[in-house]
Structure 1
Amino acid sequence: MRRFPRYGTRFGNPADAAMAALTVFALCSGAWLLRDAAETHAPPQPSAAQARAGQDGQDGRAGERPAVPALPPSPPDRIRIPAIRVNAPLTGLGLTRTGSLDVPPAERKNLAGWYEAGTTPGERGTAIVAGHVDNADGPAVFYGLGALAKGATVEVDRRDGSVAVFTVDAVEAYAAKGFPDEKVYGAARRPELRVITCGGGYSRGSGYQGNVVVFAHLTGSR
């Protein structure tokens, strides 16, 4: 079943991208690792030092203030994360028949996707970008996401010709059980971005155990 891990069974308010939990599916099977029988090739996972400090409350949202003015809505076309050498086109993602978020084609390993019925990157709210960590042939677009550090830059090219520049606030890994949906997908008072892939450890029996999530907010544009 082609569901993106931990994406919601139903989207209530698309602008908020509020989602409930889903089980991990084939995207997180780690087919490449299974084929090569090489767990040493598992993707990097974020360290505790990259987690949110939590000084503003449980999920760090209480003290949020816009760093720069929000941008008008505009679909994104490309995402760049220089620190981990990501430079990838973006495709719009819709919902499956079950109400979960669809995923980019697995064979296009350098393609990421964004939830096109929700917030566009740069406008006020929480924008969602997702991509594969690997496929049967090897590492995919977000293989290195767990190695990203606080303060790193994420750039999104938008169709109106502007570039939304985000700064990473935290990088965290979550197990499939107990995934913090509201923390990851909930409404934001400033322009925020979540970049998500599989992670949270790997088991040859069941594949990846959860997800790696990057939290970032808009700090500039050009």
Structure 2
Amino acid sequence: MPKIALITGGNRGLGRATALALIDAGVEVVYTHRGDPGEKIDAVPLELTVGALETYDDFAAELRRVLRDRFGREDFDFLVNNAGIGVHASIADTTVEAFDELLNVHFRGVFFLTQKLLPLIADGGRIINLSTGLARFTGDGYAAYASMKGAVEVFTRYLAKEAAARGITANTVAPGPSATEFAGGMLRDDEQVRAGLAKVIALGRVGEPEEIAGVIAAMLSHDTRWITGQRIEASGGMHL
């Protein structure tokens, strides 16, 4: 029986690359989006705004329906908490509104969506929470964003301990600079920015979405079943 993965924010960027990598590995994929499902792939799109906690009951009910009607199951195997937004501002310039939006999407959303979906994750399943290299090294203008991701890393360790009784593992994958739409796509499109970052990355270049997706897919494979509560950074050796 094929495994089933749910990826939040799977309509673009790292989420879309992860969906494609898992489909290639024979995994059935359900992914969320905020109104635009993106280019059609062999997966089930469901609408969800991760920061809107009041919608989680209805989302869980819709997910149960999809699992039952499309896959003939009452549960799924892999949860990838990928959805996110980027806010670039110094500490002095970070507004309460921007901070709260980051908090709702990147921490409260991850915490409470995972809480809501845990009963639907099969025993022996896997949870991957996306963090960032910026939780280890610093970058100008990302204090609030990186702080939320730091909280996610702590949450993941506690989650790994509590979920272990059911054989569920929980880990974080922390990407370094990657050529996606993040930060307006500058890491993908601005050659000057890419060249500047390459100077502080051991492997000498910005990463590609497919490379991060490969790490996530590897962490969901049978061969990594003994890893839990860990932070896996995929940054090409940035700021070593």
Structure of greater relative contact order (alpha carbons < 8 Å, 6+ residues apart): 1
Structure of larger gyration radius: 2
Instruction: Compare the two structures and name the one with the higher strand fraction.
Output: 1
Instruction: Compare the two structures and name the one with the higher helix fraction.
Output: 2
Shorter-chain TM-score above 0.5:
no
TM (norm. structure 1) is: 0.31
